[in-house]
Structure 1
Amino acid sequence: MEPVSTEPVSTEHVTAFRRFNRYFTRRIGALDDHYLGQDRPLGEARLLFEISESGAGVSLRELRSRLGLDAGYLSRMAKALDAQGMVRIAVHPDDNRLRMVELTRAGHVELKEQQRRANALVAHLLGGLTDRQRADLTEAMTTTRRLLRLAAITVDLVDGASEDAQACLDAYAADIDDRFPEGFDTSDLVRPEEVSGDAGAFFVAYEEDRPVGCGALRRLENGVGEIRHVWVHPDARRLGLARRILDALEREGRRRAFDVVRLDTHAVLTEAQAMYRACGYREIPPYVDHVYAHHWFEKRLRD
């Protein structure tokens, strides 16, 4: 496993990132007050799209969280769209603290035209490339999006009894209950006191404040820790996040002066077995009698 770098980000990397960002935003007209030739800036155009993605309607609170926008700025954009007849703003019928927003008929028409123009812009840009170059660019953008998502995710140490920790464990249990032929008994989950304080640690991965993964570390004996319940939400898989969580658990093990960490896994979790081997874990004889274990692994943290 390639661990998260502890070195400062180089000036070269920062400069290259910013250079690409400036070129791309200029090329697609992100700074134009009339994005795609329509009578609105990119911010309002994007807000129309996000509202449409929510179906019948969405609260401004949810939009603010999803887009990471200042409440005042979002409110001003929503009011501008309302004044133009593009959206309809109303109080939630069951909670007068929430303001709901949905597209009007005119808003749907506007959005459809916006999508047509955006598609035409992209087609024009790609028109100057060969089929191979288009495929290369698509692959590069897919990789860029994956890495940017991963870079934005944080892996934080939390209390094992916290709401987010327990929510992740519940999701983990439901996930593997579907995958294990024999099902899964939630009594096998770690207890909060096992993964908090001096006894152990619990990490939660967050993407835009939403828990999308977890992992636990508990002390087995002097110098030996055990990793449990490394899990990633289906929406966040194939990003490399499981390795990021594993790296955080190993760093915590080193901080706690563990010489070795161990773990076990079920026979059906072939992708987990492959990851552990790739990350330097070696298979060992059973170190514990565990009903769901078919493979046991160990990794030395200190030589």
Structure 2
Amino acid sequence: MDDVRALRRFNRYFTRRIGVLDDHYLGQDRPLGEARLLFEIGDGASLRELRSRLGLDAGYLSRMVRALEAQGLLRVSVHADDSRLRFAELTPAGRTEVKEQNRRADKLAEGLLGGLDERQRGELTAAVAVAERLLRLAGITVETVDGASRDARDCLAAYAADIDGRFPEGFDPAALVRPHEVSGDRGAFVVAYEEGRPVGCGALRGLEPGVGEIRHVWVRPTARRLGLARRILDALEHQAVARGHELVRLDTHAVLTEAQAMYRACGYTEIPRYDDNVYAAHWFEKRLR
């Protein structure tokens, strides 16, 4: 419980220090919620995207949008590419307010840093980066989905496009796992979600009795360097244990040096070739407890 108390103590201190509790955030005539909504709209966003990004109840978001619209700070219209979506964009007055909001926020941050020397500023900046990375990772969920689901197929398509650009010889999507191989008793497909959006995936399929194979462990560029690939790998290992596998194997391309390092760090041992994957240059296995 010490970590819980420490995090709560920091939350109380920081929210008070930056004025979150004030109905006039940054000295402007609105609370933090409305100010943040204006900031997030930026160059325009659908209400569905804003609701997901900010984690807001649909009714609460609608009330804030109506209030800001009545003040002439934003306008709502039908999305140009999807008539089912409502699209919010800032008016000139809204852009002016956001510009002033950014100026005041910068001034507040400068004031917070003002009592620190250069070394201490660097230390604080590094600590904030670590806190953001870990909080993002803590907020991501890894869920098992059907291998034929839209999220699974979209992730695999993005994975294929990513490595096609990284492999010198390119990548043929025909080499991807089939939905029936990674669903039900035969295997598993996991998707990592951040704020409702898929940001990574991985697959498990059976090779032979007691042996599973991990495939396509992938994280979107925007969610890399969080430690998410290890979370996905761990989830797949748990799926393997649940299916009675005592051993898991995997392979990787020669250019994916970061993947090779991760597998070794996670207890995988390099072994001789066990498959005919034309893209593989290294093969690994791990005995599961």
| 1:247 maps to which of 234, 238, 246 | 234
Deviation by residue 1:200-241 (Cα, 9 ceiling, x = unmatched): 111111111111111111111111111111011111101000
Specify the alignment match of 2:2 in structure 1. 12
Specify the alignment match of 2:284 in structure 1. 297
Using a 3 Å threshold, how does the CA distance of structure 1 residues 177 and 45 change in structure 2: closer, same or farther?
same
Matched residue type, 1:104: T
Specify the alignment match of 1:257 in structure 2. 244
Using a 3 Å threshold, how does the CA distance of structure 1 residues 190 and 135 change in structure 2: closer, same or farther?
same
Deviation by residue 1:103-149 (Cα, 9 ceiling, x = unmatched): 11111111111111111111011000111111111000000000011
| 2:200 maps to which of 199, 213, 216 | 213
Specify the alignment match of 1:187 in structure 2. 174
Deviation of 1:288 (Å): 1.4
Deviation of 1:25 (Å): 0.6
Does residue 126 of structure 2 align to residue 139 of structure 1?
A: yes
Three-state SS of the structure 2 residue aligned to 1:291 is coil
Q: Supply the distance in 1 between the matched residues of 2:82 and 2:179 (Cα, whole angstroms).
A: 34
Matches within 5 A, 1:57-76: 57-76=44-63
- What TM-score, normalized to structure 2? 0.97
* Number of residues of Structure 1 aligned to a counterpart in Structure 2: 289
Structure 1 alignment gaps of length 5 or more: 1-10
Does residue 65 of structure 2 align to residue 84 of structure 1?
A: no
Does residue 199 of structure 2 align to residue 199 of structure 1?
A: no
Matched residue type, 2:20: A
- What TM-score, normalized to structure 1? 0.92
Deviation of 1:251 (Å): 1.2
Deviation of 1:58 (Å): 2.3
Using a 3 Å threshold, how does the CA distance of structure 1 residues 96 and 229 change in structure 2: closer, same or farther?
closer
Matched residue type, 2:288: L
Deviation of 1:94 (Å): 6.6
Q: Supply the distance in 2 between the matched residues of 1:172 and 1:94 (Cα, whole angstroms).
A: 25
Q: Supply the distance in 2 between the matched residues of 1:285 and 1:49 (Cα, whole angstroms).
A: 54
Matched residue type, 2:11: N
77-86 vs 207-216, greater mean Cα deviation: 77-86
Three-state SS of the structure 2 residue aligned to 1:292 is coil
Q: RMSD across aligned C-alpha pairs, in angstroms?
A: 1.3
Specify the alignment match of 2:38 in structure 1. 48
Deviation of 1:62 (Å): 2.0
Matched residue type, 1:170: A
Matched residue type, 2:257: T
| 1:100 maps to which of 64, 87, 103 | 87
Q: Supply the distance in 2 between the matched residues of 1:274 and 1:59 (Cα, whole angstroms).
A: 40
Q: Supply the distance in 1 between the matched residues of 2:220 and 2:106 (Cα, whole angstroms).
A: 31
- Percent identical pairs in the alignment equals 75
Deviation of 1:81 (Å): 1.2
Structure 2 alignment gaps of length 5 or more: none
Q: Supply the distance in 2 between the matched residues of 1:14 and 1:291 (Cα, whole angstroms).
A: 48
Q: Supply the distance in 1 between the matched residues of 2:83 and 2:265 (Cα, whole angstroms).
A: 53
Three-state SS of the structure 1 residue aligned to 2:85 is strand
Specify the alignment match of 1:37 in structure 2. 27
Does residue 14 of structure 2 align to residue 27 of structure 1?
A: no
Matched residue type, 2:278: V
